[in-house]
Amino acid sequence: KQEVTQIPAALSVPEGENLVLNCSFTDSAIYNLQWFRQDPGKGLTSLLLIQSSQREQTSGRLNASLDKSSGRSTLYIAASQPGDSATYLCAVTGAGSYQLTFGKGTKLSVIP
């Protein structure tokens, strides 16, 4: 059974800092990995999707990497802003099943 772990559970940084969120998964047989953002009481916003054959994806200040063999992904946020404050969820799609398994998320607070 796939398990997804996110470290740290919470993170507080001053505005302008670069930061890294970590995600690990136990079964490397994945179809893709996604990073989502969730604002309090809201649904999910997809940030980046990395196919299993890819190593990284970039969107603006966000960069996500994937090391499938070691079961790890990182989300790098450059020059953090208060508007980046949210919970960031990592999820993997199982190969052949298309079901998502989510981590518990990292709650990020960017202090002005």
Q: Among 11, 13, 19, 44, which residue sits at the site for another protein (rule: CB under 8 A)?
A: 44
Is residue 64 a contact partner of residue 75, using CB atoms and an 8 Å limit? Answer: yes
62 scored as a contact of another protein (CB under 8 A)? no
Tokens 């930061």 — which residue? 19
Q: What single string gives the DSSP state of each residue in 1-63? A: ---EEEE-SEEEEETT--EEEEEEES---EEEEEEEEE-TT--EEEEEEEETT-SEEEETTEE
Residue whose CB is less far from another protein, 91 or 110: 91
> Which of the ranges 13-21, 59-67, 74-82, 103-111 carries the binding residues for another protein, by CB under 8 A?
103-111
71 scored as a contact of another protein (CB under 8 A)? no
> Element (H or E) spanning 104, and its range?
none
Binding mask 78-97 for another protein (x = CB under 8 A): -----------x-x------
Beta-strand relationship, 106-111 and 86-94: antiparallel
12 scored as a contact of another protein (CB under 8 A)? no
Q: How far is the CB of 15 from another protein (least distance, A)?
A: 25
Where does this chain bind another protein (CB under 8 A)? Answer: 4, 31-32, 36, 41-44, 46, 49, 89, 91, 98-100, 102-105
